[in-house]
Amino acid sequence: MEKATFAGGCFWCMVTPFDELPGILGIVSGYTGGSKENPTYEEVKTGETGHLEAVQITFDPSLFPYERLLELFWQQIDPTDAFGQFHDRGTQYATAIFCHNDRQMELAVQSKQALEASGRFDKPIVTKILPSAAFYEAETYHQDYHKKNPKHYNEDREKSGRDRFIQDNWT
């Protein structure tokens, strides 16, 4: 089993693309990349802790390779926006790949370089690729939010513009 950690804006929207796929054993919403130990949602949302909202995925690489996780990750975000994602603005909603080992780092860098070379976007790819950092699980009500509060989740996701962006840029 391995872990993969991705920051792609609102963590609620980063769970569903990976949820219930073969080889995905668990997805936890949380905070990473900041300086404060055990931050709360209220602290992180101020943008002052340095944390990003992120998901940490436990996966079986023999069933779902890391390269496929990277491919799915890129297709959920606007990799040219350094100041948040869609209607979620602020550094806590920036995009990043947090690598847990040298192989993940190498594959993440290669995937970013391939995206840059593809010419898919006119602006620079600003998603950071970083070594993994302490990951703090978000509060219980954030876990599996799309299942606990489907109406609100779907309304928020629609309002965010994420799905329109994905449709226009990735399909």
CB 15 within 8 A of CB 110: no
C-beta atoms surrounding 54 within 10 Å? 28
Q: How far is CA 125 from the centre of its chain?
A: 15
Q: Catalytic: which of 7, 10, 14, 77?
A: 10
Task: Confirm whether 13 is a catalytic residue.
Answer: no
- Determine the length of the chain: 171
Angstrom distances, CA of residue 10 to CA of 32, 42, 52, 61: 13, 14, 9, 25
Residues belonging to the active site:
10
